[in-house]
């Protein structure tokens, strides 16, 4: 089983739609979670951290379910500019100052006019 798993997509959705992605992780001791966005052939950029209580940033909502070991990202009112690959990132913690960070392979979103 992969440490961090995402559905690669692509998710093709019309403008204005609501879309949700899930990401599962295998290490129950994982400490922190993030969603990064990566545009085609560009560098990943932090979209949002995922907090235990869930958090929202404009049209984006992130949720964490520790019992089932998954995180989710909900995008409301999709815009063409939301088209990108969304990477799930899990910080598994560690020792000696090092913290292991694992990236999912990403879910591709294509918003269609």
Member of 41, 53, 58, 81 binding another protein (CB under 8 A): 41
C-alpha dist (Å) from residue 74 to 19, 50, 61, 64, 95 = 6, 12, 5, 12, 33
> Between residues 8 and 14, which has the closer beta carbon with respect to another protein?
8
Give the shortest CB-68-to-another protein separation in angstroms.
20
3 state DSSP class of 18: coil
98 binds another protein (CB under 8 A): yes
Among 12, 18, 31, 65, the residue binding another protein under the rule CB under 8 A is: 31
Q: Are 64 and 12 in contact (CB under 8 A)?
A: no
The answer to whether the CB of 56 falls within 8 A of the CB of 47 is: no
Q: Which residues in this chain contact another protein in the complex, by CB under 8 A?
A: 8, 31-32, 34, 41-46, 49, 87, 91, 97-99, 101, 103-106
């Amino acid at each position: 089983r992969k440490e961090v798993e995402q559905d690669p997509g692509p998710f093709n959705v019309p403008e204005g739609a609501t879309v949700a992605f899930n990401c599962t992780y295998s290490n129950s001791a994982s400490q922190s979670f993030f969603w990064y966005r990566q545009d085609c052939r560009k560098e990943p950029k932090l979209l949002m951290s995922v907090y235990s209580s869930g958090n929202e940033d404009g049209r984006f909502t992130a949720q964490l379910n520790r019992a089932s070991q998954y995180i989710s990202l909900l995008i409301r009112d999709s815009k063409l500019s939301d088209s990108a690959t969304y990477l799930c990132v899990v910080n598994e913690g560690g020792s000696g100052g090092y913290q292991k960070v694992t990236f999912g392979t990403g879910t591709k979103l294509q918003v269609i006019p």
